[in-house]
Structure 1
Amino acid sequence: MNLKKSLFFSVLFIFPIFLFAQKATLQGRVFDEYQKPLEIAIVSIPSLGIGTNTNTQGFYSLQIPANQLLRIKVSYLGKSKDTTLQASENTILEINFYLKVTEIEAISVFGRKKDTLQRLEVSTFRLDAKRLEAMPSAFGDFNKILATLAGVVSNNELSSTYSVRGGNFDENLVYVNDIQIYRPFLIRAGQQEGLSFINPNLAQEVSFSSGGWQAKYGDKLSSVLSVNYRKPTCKGGSLTLGILNNQAHVEGLSKNQKFTYLLGIRRKSSRYLLRTLPVKGEYLPQFLDFQGYFTYQLSKKWSAELLTSYAQNRYLVRPASQQSTFGTINRVLRLFVAFEGQETMNYDITQNALKLTFQNEKLKSSWILSQVFTTEREYSEVEGGYRLCEINPNFGTQGFNECVLTVGIGSEYLHLRNRFQAQIYALENRSVYDWKANHRTEGGFRISHEVIDDILQEYNFLDSSGFVRINYRNFANNFLESNRFSAFLQHQWDIDIRQRLTAGVRLTYWDINREWVASPTLQYALRSARKDMIWKFAVGMYQQPPFYRELRSFEGNLNLALLAQKSWQAIIGNDWNFRGWSERKFRLTNEIYYKYLWDVVPYDVDNVRLRYYPTNEAFAYAYGWDMRISGELIKGTESWFSMSLMKTEENVAFDNKGFIRRPTDQRFTLGVYLEDYLPNNPTWRMNLNLVWGSGLPFNVPNNPNLRNVFQGKSFRRVDIGFSKFVDKVRFKGKTLFQSLWIGADILNLLAINNPVSYSWVSDLNGQRYAIPNALSARFLNLRVIVKW
């Protein structure tokens, strides 16, 4: 009897332990209200202290005790949802997580989908394309919102170019739906430039990285701008009318929702703004841009996308005269120039891409076939006769502010007959595989074929005091056909819910210089246990194989042995979300970085044109600190304040001068963006954009020994906009438009003459003077945006 009792109590005691020791697998997917998978949602069991993150397809998997009633908690962007279940040996739990928020939360920096994911990446910001509607700018270029970010420099309102952390305009990557975008080649000045490729009316998700990016991105040295055009869920459209630009877009989908379309057209007419430039004359610019994005769901796992674009840009100017005053307090000089002739710049660029994607619960693989074709022509026949004289600066005296002594007289002649054609064809694969909920591997390759035909015919001579000097005479006819190959592999490991490690390598080859380059990268992110703070570290090698622009010398000769520019970059920073006064949400980011570059290709900057010395006989460095704080300075708005300190120098072998400043060495940059509204009527709004940057170095043209020895003036600009928003425009009880936005922008509010480049003239004694070429003056721009 005692033996039977012992056996009974033993079984009674051991059986619950056995039940508890049994393991079950809980897995499934987390979706939002639109049935789209949520990435990095946290699925946890608080009572057991375990949890995991969902992957890119919203999938998760947890090992839990079997046959126990457990509370499952799902968290995402500060919101949570609970449910209970008793898991058997294998349990599948699909979770719908609703993200609907109030209107104020929807426009705040913390209420955005994928914001947490972006915070885990080094030097990466997520941008709201819709915010550009209210931001005061000349042409509504999306890139202007970048100028207010830390580490970004854009000192020309007529151009969409920008430099990042000491790099130049050619060192920035741009992707649209994983498709690489190219910019024109022959552009000399901002007024010749059309619209940037990114159409804000079509964009949904935008992320910008100023350094330390992952291996999956391409072969540049400075930054990555990645944009995803949206997939429409209903029919709609918009129309923008303004003095300087007009835009329209339509979107919709088929009845069975398998086919969607997104079409946008933009027209930029800068004629009125260009009339405020120092050079007076007849300006006839016309820039047109069309883009289309189409998707089709072939089956449950297969989908197709087509991105097509065409840009037609025409720029014609017949300059008449120019008057510029410069000098010191004691000696004021004035330059008078009379022009004859005209300048024409035409370029047409077509970019198309077809993307075929396969996706299941673990694998997403995309095949991309793309084509770029550009034809650019630059014709100029302009002669300018100038007179340089001293001005009487003494107020109240006879002849005040008038020419009292002529110190220089001459003329300059410019002849251009340049033509450039390029064709780029590429086949690319990008794949993502989620091994588990916390392991993801990405890989891919790209093969491209390039055909470039370049005809260069240009010369410039100066006639000063009876002496004729030829500044340059360049004639060349170049044809280049080549192939490029690149591949990458990277792995992301979510060590736990607080740590993420990403390691990868990128490989490139170009059959012209026959150089193989391998670029390893490493990123690590650590969440603080107490505060909503993330520490981020990154180190890696980044390289940029030469494209055609780097190969060509000032004279038009090609150096086909030019190697890729290379750099080691290291970054450390943190990202802190905190509550300010009245429980308002703010985000503070700080980063310090260091770059060491070798095999550097030196260059000069003239307006927005980069002129390279095609040699690898230079090395350089850049280091700095970027800080940005953003949040609800005013309740229900988003404002930000960015500041950058940076230094970059290079040591070039051909000048024997040691380290000198690089052309983009802007030591201090400040960017401010403010939003406000009337307290009793928030439909009346104000938006202010302020940029201040210290002076850039500049040099005497065609003189390598005097590179970057002069200090330019600082860049200061304030743009302000006022707007009225009307929701649901109705007439006789019917809704005509979903919304109406009316705005007035005052561009260059303080009317500061910011120099963009310098022209050089000589006096009777042969002394040369740098004449600043200023940007546009104060201008009132009116805009109306209608949405339906």
Structure 2
Amino acid sequence: MLYAQKNPILYGVILDEHNVPIEGVNVYYDLPDGRVNTTTDRVGFYVIKLPINKKVDVYFSHISFKLSSIEGVLMGPNDSFEFNSYMLTGSETLNPLVIDSSTGRRRIEGVTVIPPDVIKKIPSANGGVEAIIKLLGGNSNNELSTQYSVRGGNYDENLVYVEGIEIYRPFLIRSGQQEGLSFTNTAMVENVEFSSGGFQAKYGDKLSSVLDITYRRPTEFGAELEASFLGGSLTAETASKNKKWNGIIGVRYRDNSLLVNSKETETNFKPTFADIQTMVNFNPNEKWEISFLGNISQNKYHYEPLTRQTNFGTIDEPIALQIYYEGQEKDEYETYFGALKSTYEVTENFNLTVIGSVYNTQEQEYFDILAQYALGEVDTNIGSDTFGDIQFARGAGSQLNHARNDLDALIVNAEVKGNHDIKKHLIEWGIKYTREDIRDRLVEWEVVDSAGFSLPAPVIDRPINDQPYTPYTGPLAPYQNVRALNFVITNRVSGYVQWSKRAKLGSSDIWMNAGVRAHQWQVNVDGGEDGDSQLTISPRAQFTIKPKWKRDMLFRLSGGLYHQPPFYRELRNAQGIVQPNVKAQQSVHLVLANDYSFKLWGRPFKLVSEAYYKQLSNVNTYTIENVRIRYRADNDAEAFAYGLDVRMNGEFVPGTESWLTFGYLKTEENYNDRGYIARPTDQRLKFGVLFQDYVPNIPSLKMYLNLVYNTGLPGGSPSYADPYVYQSRLNDYRRADAGFAYVFTDSKKRFDKGHWLSVFRELSVGLEIFNLFDNQNAITNTWVRDVYTKAQYGIPNYLTSRVFSVKVNARI
């Protein structure tokens, strides 16, 4: 969407039945606060502005002709649609027309439009917008996480906007099960747009993707309830009688115990993830809108592991790791967010938007967990009393992990944006100031004891360790030890200007966009040396052509020079020390796309294919452990990524939309000229299916199936290991989630007043089955040493197993 939203327009020519233009046709529609109208000129041409994302009935009247109308016109912000029609001598009501704006501007820009109803219905462990993003545009091998990577980028390379306001996420999250709720409240969503690369200059300074979300603007009272074994949400919305005020508020609660307790580790797990979010809009007049968006979130993650047993090895030589735990982990994340946005139509061709936002997060990560383990052969005698237990121990030891990490971040933004429609040229611009104040204390250490001796740190210079055969004479040190205290303030000024135009090239329609971004920043470290002032310039462009063919097909070339100035996590190296002069990562990004709309079995389908290439420099390499990213903060690498994404969606089953996706990716990096090796996000193949169906004889019984297959990611090796010496891949990720729902009533099935279901706009009850085929997917490995053979074993840390949940949706 455009940052300063403009009303969509409906335009065209009105003719009589003899193809003669009709002058003076009154074109109008009614709103609660009055009528909006225009008239056709001497050649029968009209243009009329429509409300954003609101259904209206448009009428065509003339003294010499009978009234005609189009029912249910629905258009998104900044869209336009050409509608040419005849006025007949008899009364004529045209068929209801719903204009899908995805066939307009979004299709031109290469933006994927995701229907909110699909987001609500997709069965997934974490739910929300991110679940379908992972299926359609991003990659993820962790169903517990809301984070995703796109085309070789990591989790920190994705932009997320709600109502044009940039959204941030907590800093200290290290595993998916700690994340809880994403910022976006699905029940409040009106529109979701996603771009996986080659996006315009109006979007911010990240390397990979943009997720752009618009919330609903209510016109009447409504309420929605969702409840399941994983939590629930309650949403209410209303509007004033004069329609000048409207608001929506949502409360959510989530408990991941059901999912986490299905894992191999037995725990006392007490998580509470809750938030309250609201958006209030005030329209003093037709030209001015003032909005407030607020969110308060509290995540408490209390984790007390008890025991774990993981069986691996072969049939002939089964091996097991058995662990007994002591201690606990207590993490808390409290976030507060508030934004005030004002959009004003200065003139018919000039819109101005002002945004101010404040984000504060207070996070603590405290744990002391002692793991005492035994590694050995498993008793496979079915009749034995010790069947399944370790019979002969090959190794024994313990591991103590300690952390006292605290972080307090305050991020303030002030932004002004505008757009000008000048003789079919659209000029957009914006300028933004950001201040980031981060206070961070990092204290972590790990001690590993195996067979009675303490293993020294693997990354420090030390004498050769040949225990137990030769006594170790080096210094005693923790296996891992990170201590840092960082008070950092970063001031940023960024801005953009871009131009767009629609034109003709022969008989073909073309669209052009060109723009440039600039970003200046400086890092100030309390008690240390301040960084240098740095500046990046990022030119970007798009060109789209739609040939005048019988087939509805368009081609798009987009790309440019993209920069990602470092955020706080990218400034902090593996030892926790801030490096204030880290440079912006840079990417030359090209995308060539084809968009083909067609009919199959008489029903609409769309096939989108995109080939892309990225050449990256000043790369800030990193390691990933679960979802925690640790950067080197030295910009001493270069990298590349290329691949192909293909997506097909349509009505495979009449009345329902399904999606098929395929992706191929290769991404490698060269650190300090040591040669190219796979990056942590090098996921070669991806297949995804979102299929919707219903029982023909019982159309109210719906089925939703979410299938994902991803090849294994590089990883699973110890975090301290040199990837040039030792690099492995995790196993392929295979997962199927299914949902079954009986729909008592919805927009297609309403009941007369007096029936008990007449009060509901929607009511459904369903069953969800997560990990339908009970596949064992691993996110990391635990490394254990066999003291006798001196071999190390990578024992997979499995994600969730099969889980059943009941879900209820009600809307009034």
- TM-score between both structures, scaled by the size of structure 2: 0.84
1:575 is aligned to 2:586: no
Q: Supply the distance in 1 between the matched residues of 2:402 and 2:58 (Cα, whole angstroms).
A: 70
Instruction: Give the alignment partner of residue 504 of structure 1, picking from 491, 495, 515.
Output: 515
- Deviations 1:216-271 (CA, angstroms, capped at 9, x unpaired): 00010110000011111111010111100210100011111101111011100111
Q: Supply the distance in 1 between the matched residues of 2:762 and 2:61 (Cα, whole angstroms).
A: 43
1:178 is aligned to 2:164: yes
Distance 1:137 1:42, change over 3 A: farther
**How far has the Cα of 1:405 moved from its partner?**
2.7
- Counterpart residue identity of residue 675, structure 2: G
- Matched-pair contact (CA < 8 Å) for 1:109–1:631: no
- Counterpart residue identity of residue 107, structure 2: R
- Counterpart residue identity of residue 796, structure 2: P
Distance 1:558 1:780, change over 3 A: same
**How far has the Cα of 1:482 moved from its partner?**
1.9
Corresponding residue for 1:54? none
Q: Supply the distance in 1 between the matched residues of 2:292 and 2:220 (Cα, whole angstroms).
A: 19
Partner SS for 2:104: helix
Instruction: Give the alignment partner of residue 612 of structure 2, picking from 582, 593, 597.
Output: 593
Equivalent runs, 1:26-37 vs 2, <5 Å: 37=7
**How far has the Cα of 1:758 moved from its partner?**
1.3
Distance 1:483 1:73, change over 3 A: closer
Q: Supply the distance in 1 between the matched residues of 2:726 and 2:196 (Cα, whole angstroms).
A: 25
Corresponding residue for 2:231? 245
Q: Supply the distance in 1 between the matched residues of 2:803 and 2:774 (Cα, whole angstroms).
A: 9
Instruction: Give the alignment partner of residue 486 of structure 1, picking from 473, 490, 494.
Output: 494
Q: Supply the distance in 2 between the matched residues of 1:81 and 1:238 (Cα, whole angstroms).
A: 30
Partner SS for 1:381: strand
Instruction: Give the alignment partner of residue 323 of structure 1, picking from 287, 304, 309.
Output: 309
1:120 is aligned to 2:108: yes
Instruction: Give the alignment partner of residue 751 of structure 1, picking from 774, 791, 797.
Output: 774
- Matched-pair contact (CA < 8 Å) for 2:73–2:98: no
- Matched-pair contact (CA < 8 Å) for 2:58–2:73: no
**How far has the Cα of 1:194 moved from its partner?**
1.6
Equivalent runs, 1:86-485 vs 2, <5 Å: 98-99=71-72, 112-122=100-110, 124-150=111-137, 152-359=138-345, 360-391=347-378, 403-436=390-423, 438-469=424-455, 470-485=478-493
Q: Supply the distance in 2 between the matched residues of 1:750 and 1:43 (Cα, whole angstroms).
A: 57
Partner SS for 2:440: strand
Q: Supply the distance in 1 between the matched residues of 2:13 and 2:582 (Cα, whole angstroms).
A: 52
Q: Supply the distance in 2 between the matched residues of 1:204 and 1:751 (Cα, whole angstroms).
A: 34
Q: Supply the distance in 1 between the matched residues of 2:610 and 2:62 (Cα, whole angstroms).
A: 44
- Deviations 1:76-122 (CA, angstroms, capped at 9, x unpaired): 99xx9998999xxxxxxxx9864459xxxxxx999633442211013
Q: Supply the distance in 1 between the matched residues of 2:13 and 2:427 (Cα, whole angstroms).
A: 21
Corresponding residue for 2:91? none
Distance 1:780 1:111, change over 3 A: farther
- Deviations 1:142-187 (CA, angstroms, capped at 9, x unpaired): 210112214x102211110000001000000000011000011000
Name stretches of at least 5 consecutive residues in structure 2 with no aligned partner. 1-5, 22-39, 75-95, 456-477, 524-531
- Counterpart residue identity of residue 596, structure 1: Q
**How far has the Cα of 1:399 moved from its partner?**
8.4
1:620 is aligned to 2:639: yes
**How far has the Cα of 1:125 moved from its partner?**
0.2
Distance 1:441 1:731, change over 3 A: closer
Q: Supply the distance in 1 between the matched residues of 2:547 and 2:10 (Cα, whole angstroms).
A: 17
1:715 is aligned to 2:733: yes
- Matched-pair contact (CA < 8 Å) for 2:8–2:49: no
1:780 is aligned to 2:766: no
**How far has the Cα of 1:498 moved from its partner?**
1.2
- TM-score between both structures, scaled by the size of structure 1: 0.86
Q: Supply the distance in 2 between the matched residues of 1:283 and 1:617 (Cα, whole angstroms).
A: 41
Equivalent runs, 1:3-42 vs 2, <5 Å: 37-39=7-9
Corresponding residue for 1:724? 742
- Counterpart residue identity of residue 503, structure 1: A
Percent identical among aligned pairs is 36
Corresponding residue for 1:33? none
Instruction: Give the alignment partner of residue 643 of structure 1, picking from 645, 658, 662.
Output: 662
Distance 1:42 1:387, change over 3 A: farther
Q: Supply the distance in 2 between the matched residues of 1:280 and 1:700 (Cα, whole angstroms).
A: 24
- Matched-pair contact (CA < 8 Å) for 1:745–1:780: yes
**How far has the Cα of 1:737 moved from its partner?**
2.2
- Counterpart residue identity of residue 754, structure 1: N
Corresponding residue for 1:5? none
- Deviations 1:419-450 (CA, angstroms, capped at 9, x unpaired): 001001110012111112x3101000110111
Q: Supply the distance in 1 between the matched residues of 2:580 and 2:20 (Cα, whole angstroms).
A: 63
**How far has the Cα of 1:132 moved from its partner?**
2.2
- Counterpart residue identity of residue 735, structure 2: R
- Matched-pair contact (CA < 8 Å) for 1:43–1:74: no
Partner SS for 2:652: coil
Q: Supply the distance in 1 between the matched residues of 2:563 and 2:381 (Cα, whole angstroms).
A: 56
Distance 1:304 1:667, change over 3 A: same
Distance 1:477 1:402, change over 3 A: closer
**How far has the Cα of 1:411 moved from its partner?**
0.2
Corresponding residue for 2:684? 667
- Matched-pair contact (CA < 8 Å) for 1:366–1:429: yes
**How far has the Cα of 1:759 moved from its partner?**
1.2
Partner SS for 1:632: strand
Distance 1:38 1:471, change over 3 A: same
- Counterpart residue identity of residue 345, structure 1: D
Corresponding residue for 1:634? 653
- Counterpart residue identity of residue 288, structure 1: A
Partner SS for 1:120: helix
- Matched-pair contact (CA < 8 Å) for 2:59–2:70: no
Corresponding residue for 2:80? none
- Counterpart residue identity of residue 502, structure 2: D
Distance 1:288 1:397, change over 3 A: closer
- Matched-pair contact (CA < 8 Å) for 2:71–2:97: no
Distance 1:109 1:723, change over 3 A: farther
Equivalent runs, 1:22-101 vs 2, <5 Å: 37-39=7-9, 70=44, 98-99=71-72
Q: Supply the distance in 2 between the matched residues of 1:126 and 1:43 (Cα, whole angstroms).
A: 29
Q: Supply the distance in 1 between the matched residues of 2:430 and 2:450 (Cα, whole angstroms).
A: 59
Partner SS for 1:638: strand
**How far has the Cα of 1:767 moved from its partner?**
2.0
- Counterpart residue identity of residue 475, structure 1: R
Corresponding residue for 1:544? 564
- Matched-pair contact (CA < 8 Å) for 2:70–2:97: no
Q: Supply the distance in 1 between the matched residues of 2:655 and 2:599 (Cα, whole angstroms).
A: 14
Partner SS for 1:559: coil
Q: Supply the distance in 2 between the matched residues of 1:672 and 1:172 (Cα, whole angstroms).
A: 23
- Deviations 1:513-565 (CA, angstroms, capped at 9, x unpaired): 41110000010111121121111111201110001101111211111110000
**How far has the Cα of 1:684 moved from its partner?**
0.8
- Matched-pair contact (CA < 8 Å) for 1:661–1:708: no
Q: Supply the distance in 2 between the matched residues of 1:292 and 1:662 (Cα, whole angstroms).
A: 40
Instruction: Give the alignment partner of residue 623 of structure 2, picking from 595, 601, 604.
Output: 604
**How far has the Cα of 1:704 moved from its partner?**
2.9
Q: Supply the distance in 2 between the matched residues of 1:592 and 1:395 (Cα, whole angstroms).
A: 54
